[in-house]
Amino acid sequence: MTGKPRKLGTVGSAFPSSSFDDVGTAYGLTPRQTALLAALIEYGGVREAADGLGISYTSARNGVVALKDKFGVSTVPMLIAMVLEFKAGAHEPVRHDLFSLTDRQFAIAHDVGTLRSREEIAERLAISPSVVDAELKEINLVLGTQSAGQIARVVASAGLGVPGVETIAAMERHTEHTMPAGILHVSGRTIGYSDYGPADGKPVVVLHSAITSRAPPTRLVGELRARGYRPITIDRPGYGDTDAGPKRSDPFVQAAHDLKALCDELGFATIDVVARGPGMATMRLHQLHSRLIRRAVLVNPTPAYAFTSGATGPLGAVKRAYARRPWAIGALLAVIAKRQTPASFYSGALRAFRDSPPDEALARNDPRFAADYIRAVRGFQQGRIAGYVAEQVAWVSGYDVTAMPGMTDWRIVQGGSSMLRSPEDALDYWRVKLPDTPIRWVAEAGQMLAYSHPHLVVDALD
């Protein structure tokens, strides 16, 4: 071959080689592998890609073998098709790779998720029903599920489109809540917060969970105000209206500094804290700014990942998939966020809540909870996922905090049911990390305890 190889105009012009960094990040490629992938797409063949990069054909061929293994495909056309699908926005390959399914298994799981029967799946894929059964056994093994119904729920939690229920009409009856919008600018970054007053109330900061932003449970705000508190909420870095902070292995360091800056701005020497999940973030805040927190109530605090082995259902499967491939979390979440509407997001929550009867009952029967929850995940739906991704990557990678004995003014309030983990296993972790902190067990409550039992949360604070 003489001269520079000819580019494939339609592909090359649509996707210049510099635009493949997101693919490389999503699939854990080295810079050299990313460059080879870009050249392969650009020129359309292995030999041409080698010439374009100025490397030997043998090096390019060996590199393509490694790429096919990374993407789980057997041919160069399949590799190219998968990458172009990713670039076009479908992103199915990310979820395929995240869950470690073969092409056929992924197709079967998707069809189960869209409520097709075994016979319909077999006919669509031109295979026998017995093959479908065999593949379902393998899918159950990979996903940690035990039935087609559970597969459907895992698929739904990953945003693959199980038909949902419409909840918007019910939620519209509870839109009277207006979230106060506060903005603080610190060192070139924007920090979003809300101050619910009154000005003479005792300041209490309500920290949001991993999946939500600062919009709080409105009943909790009302209960706090009724007992003389001044609720404040703040978006952690990369959530809601708060800019992401510098990349670091500890995602809660910047969050702690942001909250301290807000307290300085508002004139608070000390605060109380209600943490709806982020117990480790609260501990890091105390470790970095030890005089700031007076009392803290940790509501269903999230333990280290090693203590979540009891996680069941669709959310448990997603968490295990995160742990296997933390580098794919960002790409997966970008896809899910892009596909969600308020109704479909809440529909997915309903399916996940089936593993926690108190939470399912709350979600199905309380439109005010629905309105609060959808408001709290609005930033996620709008693609504000950087904070969630940073925290989840750290969590599944083994993030932990050092124990803090002597915290007798703190409280843990734990619901007896959860779709995320075994509550008993979670308390085993927290008894080690906060050995002197009293624990209240609320058998009839679930993961959404702050929404369903706000009076118990404030009781623990008083």
Give me the half-sphere count of Cα atoms (radius 13 Å) on the Cβ side of residue 4.
Answer: 6
Same CATH fold assignment for domains 9-87 and 170-308+386-461:
no
Angle between the 129-143 and 103-113 helix axes, to the nearest 10 degrees? 90
- Domain-by-domain residue ranges, the chain? 9-87, 91-163+313-354, 170-308+386-461
Three-state SS sequence of the chain: CCCCCCCCHHHHHHCCHHHHHHHHHHCCCCHHHHHHHHHHHHHCCHHHHHHHHCCCHHHHHHHHHHHHHHHCCCCHHHHHHHHHHHHHCCCHHHHHHHCCCCHHHHHHHHHHHCCCCHHHHHHHHCCCHHHHHHHHHHHHHHHCCCCHHHHHHHHHHCCCCCCCCCCHHHHHHHCCCCCCCEEEEECCEEEEEEECCCCCCEEEEEECCCCCCCCCCHHHHHHHHHCCEEEEEECCCCCCCCCCCCCCCCCHHHHHHHHHHHHHHHCCCCEEEEEECCHHHHHHHHHHCCCCEEEEEEECCCCCHHHCCCCCHHHHHHHHHHHHCHHHHHHHHHHHHHHCCHHHHHHHHHHHHCCCHHHHHHHHHCHHHHHHHHHHCHHHHCCCCHHHHHHHHHHHCCCCCCCCCCCCCCEEEEECCCCCCCHHHHHHHHHHHCCCCCEEEECCCCCCHHHHCHHHHHHHHC
pLDDT for residue 381: 67
Q: What is the pLDDT of residue 1?
A: 39
The number of C-alpha atoms within 13 Å of 356 and in the hemisphere containing its C-beta is 30
Strand partners, 194: 233
CATH topology of domain 170-308+386-461: Rossmann fold (3.40.50)
> Which token pair is 222?
């009302």
> b or e along 367-391 (b: 16 or more beta carbons within 10 Å of the residue's beta carbon)?
bbbbbbbbbbbbbbbeebbbbbbbb
- The pLDDT, as a whole number, for residue 341 is 61
Residue pLDDT tens, the chain, 462 long: 345 444 433 333 333 444 677 777 766 788 888 889 888 877 667 888 898 889 999 999 999 998 887 776 666 766 765 666 555 444 444 444 455 566 677 778 877 765 567 888 888 777 888 888 888 888 887 776 777 766 766 665 554 443 332 333 333 334 445 667 788 999 999 999 999 989 999 999 999 998 899 999 999 999 999 999 999 999 999 999 999 988 878 999 999 999 999 999 999 999 999 999 999 999 999 999 999 999 999 999 999 988 776 555 555 556 666 655 655 566 656 655 655 566 666 776 777 788 899 999 998 888 888 888 888 887 776 778 889 888 988 888 889 999 999 999 999 999 999 887 889 999 999 999 999 999 999 999 999 999 999 999 999 998
Class for the domain spanning 9-87? mainly alpha
pLDDT at 123: 84
Return the pLDDT at 180: 77
